[in-house]
Amino acid sequence: MSSSLVDRESTVDLLKDLVKIDSVNPSLVKGAAGEAEIAEFLSDYMQGLGLRTAVEEVDTGRPNVVGVLEGEEQGPSLLLNGHTDTVGVDYMDVDPFNPVIRDGKLYGRGAFDMKGGLASIVAATKAVVESDRKLRGNLVISAVCDEEYASIGTERLMNDILPDAAIIGEPTELDILVAHKGFSWVEIVTRGFAAHGSQHEKGIDAIAMMGRVLVELEKLQGGLARKTHEKVGHPTLHASIIEGGSELSTYPDCCVLKIEWRTVPGEDESTIRNEIESVLSGLASRDGNFKADYEIILSRGPMEVSENESICQSLANVILEVTGRVPEYIGRPFWLDTEIIWRKGVPAVAFGPSGDGAHAAVEYVNVESVITAARVLERFAHSYLGSI
Ligand SMILES: [Zn+2]
């Protein structure tokens, strides 16, 4: 196989251009810029490469951009996906949209999460185009909106396409992410009985009832800590928000607790339902006045791809060829868009550059790792899609 055509200078320029564009997610930060401008920039860039390019408005001002390098024959299709949105910038020390390179690190909001990976994806595609080697199947690259909030971008994308394999360019330090946790948000409501504060024989204190729930949930955390998954650790839960009561001299008739539960591969909503139902029914059996119900208000599942999937094996081979290093198959405790693609039956992993500071005051990506990731993706595209 020939050497890489990934061009360092144009890749770094591309990364700088992406960081310069404010694309803070407006669902996270009211009035923020959103993904329209960065989508337009990427659409122009992809068109310049000769890709069949489409901008699709998922919601007002919230577009996805998809570029397709058409294969010559009926071959497998490969999706390279990255998100264009970032988290907010209020707490950053430096100008978040003025990318600066120091000691091989490019600083700026989104440099690490994940404009670095996005630059790798586009640079790899540019190199494949410039190789003039025809592919059998389609190379599809997508720059999606809203990963940092509700992932409406990848959800929409996966309604429209069904690739044979997918790589998300999230930062993985050039290792292969094959597993991550899921999460569920659960609302628990305890019911009391409102009465004047002097009428203890009538009033039932819903907040005190919730106290009992909290004690049981804390005990449950100990049990969850023993259910360790080798790549992502153990499931966890924590209380997030609690509300109850209206005035000092009144027994509260209602208390609402919202908790977050982080699940590991092999678990789903039924795991959570079973645990919560046993907590609530246990408390009810000890006190006839205890009344509570619950609802799962949002769930994102965990995911795990077998290391024996051909995408894992062949990506590992390519990483070894390009870097001289055997990559690790890693898991992460946070949720990624990978799950949305994987849920459709598509083998999906994450692979991307190194750096630090996702969602933090100082964020950077290692420039060299962006170039290396691009070279890996370039070589992988040729090998997976089969150059003719
Ligand atoms: Zn990300």
Mean pLDDT of all residues in the chain? 96
Q: How far is CA 158 from CA 27, 140, 339, in A?
A: 21, 12, 11
| 299 token code pair | 């769930």
pLDDT of residue 88: 95
Whether the per-residue pLDDT at 1 is higher than 60: the answer is no
Task: Provide φ and ψ at 327, rounded to 5°.
Answer: -75, 160
For residue 114, how far is its CA from the centre of ligand 1 (angstroms)?
5
For residue 147, how far is its CA from the centre of ligand 1 (angstroms)?
7
pLDDT of residue 91: 84
pLDDT band at 70 (very low <50, low <70, confident <90, very high): very high
For residue 212, how far is its CA from the centre of ligand 1 (angstroms)?
37
For residue 121, how far is its CA from the centre of ligand 1 (angstroms)?
14
**What is the residue extent of each domain of the chain?**
8-179+303-385, 182-300
CB atoms near residue 198 (< 10 Å): 9
> Using one digit for the tens of pLDDT, what is the confidence trace for 188-201?
999 999 999 999 99
Percent of the chain exceeding pLDDT 90 equals 94
For residue 113, how far is its CA from the centre of ligand 1 (angstroms)?
4
For residue 125, how far is its CA from the centre of ligand 1 (angstroms)?
20
For residue 384, how far is its CA from the centre of ligand 1 (angstroms)?
25
pTM of the model: 0.92
| Domain 8-179+303-385 CATH superfamily | Zn peptidases (3.40.630.10)
Whether the per-residue pLDDT at 60 is higher than 80: the answer is yes
For residue 316, how far is its CA from the centre of ligand 1 (angstroms)?
22
Whether the per-residue pLDDT at 185 is higher than 80: the answer is yes
Whether the per-residue pLDDT at 27 is higher than 70: the answer is yes
pLDDT of residue 48: 98
pLDDT of residue 132: 86
For residue 176, how far is its CA from the centre of ligand 1 (angstroms)?
15
For residue 199, how far is its CA from the centre of ligand 1 (angstroms)?
54
For residue 371, how far is its CA from the centre of ligand 1 (angstroms)?
18
> Using one digit for the tens of pLDDT, what is the confidence trace for 84-137?
999 999 888 788 999 999 999 999 999 999 999 999 999 999 999 999 898 999
- Fold annotation for 182-300: Alpha-Beta Plaits (3.30.70)
pLDDT band at 378 (very low <50, low <70, confident <90, very high): very high
